[in-house]
Amino acid sequence: MIHVRNFMFAILFFLAFSARAATAAYIGETEAKSIAFQHAGLSEKEISAVSVKQYEKRGMRLYDITFSGGSVKYNYEIDATSGEIVEYERRNAGKAIQGLNDGNKGYIGFEKAKSIALAHANVPESEIHKYEAELDRHGGRAVYEIDFDHARTEYEYEIDAETGEIVRWESEYD
């Protein structure tokens, strides 16, 4: 009887300690918000309607942070342990830019991928609408998915995030 009680006590102690250790390893809501605000290029004074939730996705503990800055709405997923931006999205007047974190990975960036697609399509940036960009993985390779409309044509591009090579493209006249 004593051994069972000691065993149960040891298990409960281990579980309590593990839960505390896991919680202590998280960066915290304040730090997660600071990371998102800094990435968005906004100060706390420029931000409104902040929502922070913590959840688990694919075995990873994340902070989901949603906020507004001016007319732009932002949504970030931030690793609760490392503070790395896993995914983000910005929406402004029907235009979305979203994706995995492309910082410090040697990627060409959203703007360069956009300019490659526009040059290939021979379309000036001032004449596009319904622009969307996303950083994703296809076939083990990081690619920028660039979609836009020009006149009555819809364009879709996949551009290698490291080399800038056009992996796939298509256009459809409407």
Residue 6 lies in a domain: no
Q: In a structure prediction context, what are the per-residue pLDDT tens digits for the chain, which is 174 residues long?
A: 555 555 555 555 555 544 444 455 889 999 999 998 988 888 888 888 899 999 887 788 999 998 988 777 888 888 999 998 887 777 765 555 555 555 546 788 888 999 999 999 999 999 998 888 888 877 778 888 999 999 999 999 999 988 999 999 999 987
Residue 9 lies in a domain: no
Residue 161 lies in a domain: yes
Tokens 């001016």 — which residue? 70
Q: How far apart are CA 15 and CA 170, in angstroms?
A: 54
Residue 136 lies in a domain: yes
Domain of 123: which CATH number? Answer: 3.10.450.40
Residue 7 lies in a domain: no
Residue 42 lies in a domain: yes
Number of domains forming the structure of the chain:
1
Which amino acid would we find at residue 16?
A
Residue 4 lies in a domain: no
Which H helix or E strand runs over 56? strand 47-57
Domain that holds residue 83: 27-173
Class of residue 96 by CB neighbours under 10 A (exposed 0-12, middle 13-18, buried 19+)? middle
